[in-house]
Amino acid sequence: MAEMRPDHWFTSTEDSAGRDEASGLAVTVDVTGWPVDVTVPQPVPPQLRSPDGLVSALRTAIASAALEHRATVGARRVLTPERRELVEDLMSGRRQVEPHRMPPLVPVTVPDHPVDGRVAAQDQRDLRTWRGRSRAGEVEVALSLRTGLDRLEVDPAFLASTDAATLRHALREAFADADSTSTQELS
């Protein structure tokens, strides 16, 4: 991510923790939103025994970690007294935001000569998806730089009979496999 983004893109690169309160599933995610650790409560709650329930709990925990990250970063920002007063005035309704006047747009013209499309092409690396699998293949994940957890597939028979430590281990293996694949491809 650092290679694709400018230096000021990340205010903080610290990991954040999140939790799904309904199931007790907890995750630690890095700044990109990719899980780097998972904690499964013992005994495994019934809602984590179905693939849909596990996906829902993971998404909730990851979203909770993202909110935690944003709250931490927001608390670090120091507002000048003038900016703090402006924020308070805007929030209380004493002031309103007035849009800047925009100059008229320059008319768009179709070029009459060949255009090299490669010059204007955007960096497509952040649109890719990486897959990761646990060693035994019972858990498979798809992660992307733009959306984090794209997809999770779990063997229902494994999920119905596994214990918390084995489920945690399989999830961590799948996430680590996707991460190692992305690191190799992006470097």
Domains of the chain: 16-97+126-186 (3.30.1310.10)
pLDDT of residue 51: 94
Closest CA to 140 of 128, 151, 127: 151
Q: Report the predicted TM-score, pTM, of the whole model to 2 decimal places.
A: 0.69
Residues 171 and 140: their CA atoms lie apart, in Å, by 8
Is the distance from CB of 48 to CB of 23 less than 8 angstroms?
Answer: yes
- The more confidently predicted of residues 26 and 100 is 26
> What is the average per-residue pLDDT within 148-166?
93
Summarize pLDDT for 31-76 with one digit per residue, the tens.
Answer: 878 899 999 999 999 999 999 999 999 999 999 998 888 877 776 6
Residues 179 and 8: their CA atoms lie apart, in Å, by 23
